[in-house]
Amino acid sequence: MSLHTQVAIELCTTIDDNGQMEYNKIQQNGFLYKKGSLDVLTFEEMADDNSVIKNLITIQSDRVNIKRSGNVTMNQQFQERQTTENVLKHPYGSIHMETFTQSILYSPLKTREDGSLHIAYTVKLNGQEERQHKIDVTIKEEDMT
């Protein structure tokens, strides 16, 4: 596996809003870059209005950063047992997000073994009641044959 690998990414988010469950799944091809103890996933997704949103997920041993740019912008930081804040900007306005990360579990992509990233956290949007969130990412090496 090179320092930059073409990968298939499946990103599933689960939101539990007092028992009201919301699920989202994105499946995209992208790239995985490795530099020392840092792994970076990049991929693009198509928004509902057909604009492109670029995603950059930076993974370190004790923290994860998800940066989105395009019609939707955010820079969400995850650090275990820490509260972080950011602002989600989209065409309809800005939302203040307060994120408390409960756990981060990362298994890097290996030859013939998928990688995975699991983040459990709570989010308060504009100071409202917090909701339980989960992100599950599966990273598969693309077969280039």
Instruction: Render pLDDT for 47-65 as a digit per residue (tens, 0 to 9).
Output: 878 889 999 999 998 899 9
> Would the pTM count as exceeding 0.85?
yes
The answer to whether 7 and 109 are in contact (CB under 8 A) is yes
pLDDT recorded at residue 46: 86
The 3-state secondary structure of 32-67 reads EEEECCEEEEEEEEECCCCCEEEEEEEECCCEEEEE
Fold of the 4-141 domain:
Lipocalin (2.40.128)
> What's the alpha-carbon Rg for the chain, to the nearest Å?
15
Closest CA to 7 of 39, 26, 38, 32: 32
- Read off the pLDDT of residues 79-111 as tens digits, 9 standing for 90 and up: 999 999 999 998 889 999 999 999 999 999 988
For residue 1, CA distances in Å to 4, 38, 85, 102, 138 come to 8, 15, 35, 31, 17
- Read off the pLDDT of residues 13-54 as tens digits, 9 standing for 90 and up: 999 998 999 999 999 999 999 988 899 999 999 887 888 999
Token look-up 């939302």 returns 95
